[in-house]
Amino acid sequence: MKFVRILFAILSIGFVLSACQKDFSYESGAGHGTLAKDAFGDCASILVNGSYQKDTLLRGSNFIEVQANFTQLGNYSIKTDTVNGYSFSAVGYTGVVGLNTIRLVGVGKPLVAGVDVFTVKFDTSSCKVNVNVTIGAGGVLPAVFTLNGNPTACAAATLAGNYNMSLPTTSTGNTVTITANVTTAGSYTITTPLVNGVSFTGTGTLTIGASQPIILRANGGTPAAAGTFNYLITGSAGNCNFDVVYGAALAPAVYTFTCAGATVLGTYEVGTAMTASNTITLPITVATGGTYIITTTVNGITFSGSGVLPATPAAQSIILTASGSPLAVAAPSTFVISGGGGANCSVNITVTAAVVPGTITAFVNGGGTVTTFNIGATGLLTSFGGISTIDISGDNSNATNTASILLGVTKTGSITTGTYTQSNLVNTADGQYDNTTGTSFYANLVGGTLTLNVTSITTVAPLRIQGTFSGTFKDAFGTGTNTTTFATGTFDVPYN
């Protein structure tokens, strides 16, 4: 399936149409600027959204977002080249000089699995973006590579972190970086044997190159002894080995917390697994250098951290990373953190209720049974040039060629309750329906009908939008004679 958006929104000086495959322009003058990119030519702050599978048509959730620095207002066209049967593009009008986030919507169908490298072009500037295409059931096609240093010592193996007897390792602080000669881009998984209580694992994707870095992360194990231990990597990519020198056990550090400076990062919802973004950072004052090992568990969440604190400077910070999943709503959960020298600190974290899954339902083409689009039913809020849009989308099933629906509400300022239609340039609605054969039907200013009533919308967490809809969507971007009708439609989805 694919979603090709046609959006309409009112501006103080007129209106702007943003389309993916047709360029309808109602503004005069060309916008100019450059794409933001890093020193390697990769697009800066790139977002690649959606799932990309071999032989599966792209849809509305398949888009990339790039940063463009506009030096002149006006119409713009930003697009990629066509790679592996698909591409991304955006046309529109900007009324804002400076850095803008531009969404390029994908069209087409990936032909083979692997890592596709696209060139994004705007004016005379360009940048690169990588998109991983999976093979459907098995993920990204495996990379073909040889470990540098094969078959002896891993070339230029670089260790990071502290390695001492009885000091637990961490996946974020204890790493080994090796390199590989990659001839075919794709995925990789490397795991070492467990040696001295510690193993290293790395997974990800590789692009073609002679010295592509691979980061292996420690398993969190605790070294059982001091000394030099050898880790051997074996597999189809060849063999190489590296040494880790574990020092003798160190004495515990003595320090105090500055509890008022504690910083909590991440989202905490019932049943949602913690990630590396869920952390507590605690400022400390070190009196005596040495090791620290901290673990505290409350309400299904464990915060832990370990490492070596130098004697100087006195002012330092400790980062504790969460694991587990919150068990119950709590406002707040209080974590008591104990450190060296009798230091104690209490940190409060609010755990919210789990997000209720979204639902989208309707009677399609006069059928007597309600059709649901509840798979991945969600909303996405975007704002551009003072105009807000919430795209509400969902799939009928998990099948490759499933029916899908996209409903859009657009308004200058913030989205509010009220009635939105495809012919209204103030409260604008638009829609797209993709059936199981890949045919797309539309309701927009060009054709088709759509009446969408927003009956409830929350603007503080948890964000949610609810309402009803009905209408007749037409093929050929809304100008065709074939139709799909929707009656007694409802939506109740979280949005972000």
CATH of domain 254-351: 2.60.40
Per-residue pLDDT tens digits of the chain, which is 496 residues long: 444 444 433 332 233 333 333 333 333 468 899 999 988 788 987 888 877 888 777 777 788 989 999 998 888 889 999 898 899 988 887 878 888 888 888 888 888 877 888 999 999 999 999 888 877 544 567 889 999 999 999 998 999 999 999 999 998 889 999 999 999 888 888 999 999 999 999 888 888 888 899 999 999 899 999 999 999 998 888 899 999 999 999 999 999 999 999 999 988 988 888 888 899 999 999 999 999 999 999 999 999 999 999 999 999 999 999 999 999 998 899 999 998 778 789 999 999 888 888 999 999 999 889 999 999 899 988 887 788 999 999 999 877 778 999 999 999 999 999 999 998 888 999 999 999 988 999 999 889 999 999 999 999 878 999 999 999 999 998 899 999 999 999 999 999 8
pLDDT reported for residue 259: 92
According to DSSP, the residues that pair with 74 across neighbouring strands are: 94
pLDDT reported for residue 386: 84
Class of domain 144-246: mainly beta
The architecture CATH gives domain 32-135: Sandwich (2.60)
**Burial track 6-40 (b if 16+ CB lie within 10 A, e otherwise):** bbbbbbeeebbbbbbeeeeeebeeebebbbbbeee
pLDDT reported for residue 337: 95
Of 446, 438, 436, 437, the closest CA to residue 473 belongs to 446
